[in-house]
Structure 1
Amino acid sequence: MSAPTLAEDLLLLLFQPKSGTIAGENTLFYTLAGAVLADLGLSEHVRTSTGRSGATLVEAVEDNPPTDAVLRSAWDYVLPKPRGVQTVLAAVGPPLRGPLLDRLIERGEIRQVTKKTLGLFDRKVLEDGGTGRRAHLLDDVRRVLVDGAEPEPRVAALGALLSGSGTLPQFDPDIPWSSAVITRAKELEQGNWGAGAAAEAVTRTVTATIINSVITAVPPNPT
Structure 2
Amino acid sequence: MTDDSIHSQRTRTLITEDLLLVLFQPDSGTIAGENTLFYVLAAGALTDLAQHGHATIADAGFRGTLIHAAGEPPEDELLRPMWDYISQKPRGVQTVLAASGPTLREPVLDRLVERGHLCRQKRRVLGLFPSTSLVDGGSGRRSELVAEMRAVLVDAAVPSEHIAALTALVSASGSLPVLHREIPWSGTTATRAKNLEQGDWAAGTAATAVTRTMIAVVANSLIAGAVVANR
Report the TM-score, using the length of structure 2 for normalisation.
Answer: 0.90
| Structure 2: stretches of 5+ with no match in the other structure | 1-9
Q: Which amino acid aligns with 1:19?
A: S
Cα deviation 1:153-183 (Å, max 9, x = unaligned) = 1111111111110100110121111000000
Does residue 41 in structure 1 map to residue 23 in structure 2? no
Q: Which amino acid aligns with 2:18?
A: D
Question: Greater shift after overlay, 86-95 or 49-58?
Answer: 49-58
Question: Contact 1:146/1:181 (CA < 8 Å) preserved in 2?
Answer: yes
1:26 corresponds, among 25, 35, 58, to 35
Does residue 197 in structure 1 map to residue 197 in structure 2? no
- Give the % identical residues: 51
Cα deviation 1:17-41 (Å, max 9, x = unaligned) = 0000000001000000000001111
Structure having the higher helix fraction is 2
Question: Contact 1:42/1:207 (CA < 8 Å) preserved in 2?
Answer: no
Shift of the 144–218 alpha-carbon distance from structure 1 to 2, 3 Å rule, reads same
Partner of 2:178: 170
Q: CA deviation at 1:54?
A: 4.4
Q: CA deviation at 1:221?
A: 9.1
Question: Contact 1:41/1:207 (CA < 8 Å) preserved in 2?
Answer: no
Distance of 1:211 and 1:33 partners within structure 2: 11
Q: CA deviation at 1:217?
A: 1.8
| Structure 1: stretches of 5+ with no match in the other structure | none
Shift of the 193–48 alpha-carbon distance from structure 1 to 2, 3 Å rule, reads same
Cα deviation 1:176-216 (Å, max 9, x = unaligned) = 1100000000000000012x537532432233222322222
Report the TM-score, using the length of structure 1 for normalisation.
Answer: 0.93
2:158 corresponds, among 150, 167, 190, to 150
**Alignment partner of 2:134: what SS?**
strand
Distance of 1:69 and 1:174 partners within structure 2: 32
Question: Contact 2:198/2:215 (CA < 8 Å) preserved in 1?
Answer: no
Partner of 1:11: 20
Q: CA deviation at 1:67?
A: 1.1
Question: Contact 1:44/1:203 (CA < 8 Å) preserved in 2?
Answer: no
1:48-197 paired onto structure 2 within 5 Å: 48-61=57-70, 63-194=71-202, 196-197=203-204
Q: Which amino acid aligns with 2:222?
A: V
Distance of 1:34 and 1:120 partners within structure 2: 39
Q: Which amino acid aligns with 2:55?
A: V
Distance of 1:38 and 1:220 partners within structure 2: 22
**Alignment partner of 1:58: what SS?**
strand
Shift of the 220–167 alpha-carbon distance from structure 1 to 2, 3 Å rule, reads farther
Question: Greater shift after overlay, 202-211 or 168-177?
Answer: 202-211
Q: Which amino acid aligns with 2:162?
A: R
Distance of 1:202 and 1:31 partners within structure 2: 19
Q: CA RMSD in A?
A: 1.6
